[in-house]
Amino acid sequence: MDGIVLAGIFLVLVIVTVALGVKTVPQGSKSVVQRLGKYHKTLGPGLNIIFPYIDAVAYKVTTKDIVLDIPSQEVITRDNAVIIANAVAYINIVSPEKAVYGVEDYRFAIQNLVQTSLRSIIGEMDLDDALSNRDSIKAKLKGAISDDIADWGITLKTVEIQDINPSDTMQHAMEEQAAAERGRRATVTRAGGEKAAAILEAEGRLEASRRDAEAQVVLAQASQTAIEKVTAAIQGNELPVMYLLGERYIDAMKDLASSDNAKTIILPGDIPAAVRGIMGGFSK
């Protein structure tokens, strides 16, 4: 009976010993082994044998790419503008022992390192450059933190700027500035149009005045020619002149009679005498 109990105890001890000495590490992971509290070795994927009761798996670390979301933060640019920026970092642990022994919490450490570097980089840029040069910020950010996290056995695969936008107050100010600029341009355009229209109108009046003056000169020359021809034709005989003036006089009376303002038209009884009177007035 005692032999069976001892055999049972021995069998349990063997099973426990095998369980403690044989370790299976899944693909995509590594295990850090400590011997009596001190780092001993790193186990890769697959079946591994360790010394039971002395060695122990202290940490299990993934070797897959890790995505770290960097929280949003307010950043002040060189021209004192406030913007909201956040990022995402892709890292890979190449030396698990450095990652677990080199820093207390590598995730928290990398997040703070990225935030600090991002504030420093954007703080050296103006607002317009910060909003338009994401690739430049990305390159500087990657260069700034790659060497630091390499000491922890971690490789930075890439870092991306997710959002970089002005703060609500700054965005409101930018919208007001843009609206003011659009209003200024509209005013300038309207003033330019009014100026061009005024110039065209003035040029039109000038051209019309020039044409009227030319027309008056032509009419005066025509009248002069007509008078000279009439004078040469009558040669002291007043009858043709009386006929022409009488005809003009009658036409003028017709026009006056057809006017809306005309009420009563009185014609002289002796039209020839009236015409002679007109001619006498001209001769004086």
Write down the CATH superfamily of domain 66-166.
Band 7 domain (3.30.479.30)
Over residues 120-134, the mean pLDDT reads: 86
Over residues 26-47, the mean pLDDT reads: 90
What is the reported pLDDT for 237? 58
For residue 49, pLDDT beyond 80: yes
Exposed, middle or buried: residue 61 (CB in 10 Å: 0-12, 13-18, 19+)? middle
Report the C-alpha gap between 73 and 165 in whole angstroms.
11
* Residue 113 tokens, joined: 């390192």
* Residue 211 tokens, joined: 């044409």
Over residues 147-161, the mean pLDDT reads: 90
Give, as one character, the DSSP assignment of residue 26.
-
What is the reported pLDDT for 93? 92
For residue 184, pLDDT beyond 60: yes
What is the reported pLDDT for 127? 83
Q: What is the pLDDT of residues 211-265, one digit of tens each?
A: 888 888 887 777 677 666 766 666 655 555 565 666 666 766 666 666 666 555 5
Q: Is 103 helix (H, G, I), strand (E, B) or coil?
A: coil
Q: What is the pLDDT of residues 16-31, one digit of tens each?
A: 787 778 888 899 899 9
Over residues 5-14, the mean pLDDT reads: 76
Q: Which residue spans within the chain are E strands per DSSP?
A: 22-25, 29-35, 38-43, 46-49, 55-62, 66-76, 82-93, 154-166
Question: Which comes out higher in pLDDT, residue 211 or 179?
Answer: 211
Q: What is the pLDDT of residues 57-108, one digit of tens each?
A: 889 999 899 999 989 888 888 888 888 888 999 999 999 999 899 888 899 9
Mean pLDDT over the full length of the chain: 79
| Percentage of the residues of the chain whose pLDDT score is greater than 90 | 15
- Per domain, the residue ranges of the chain are 2-61, 66-166, 170-235, 236-284
What is the reported pLDDT for 92? 93
For residue 46, pLDDT beyond 80: yes
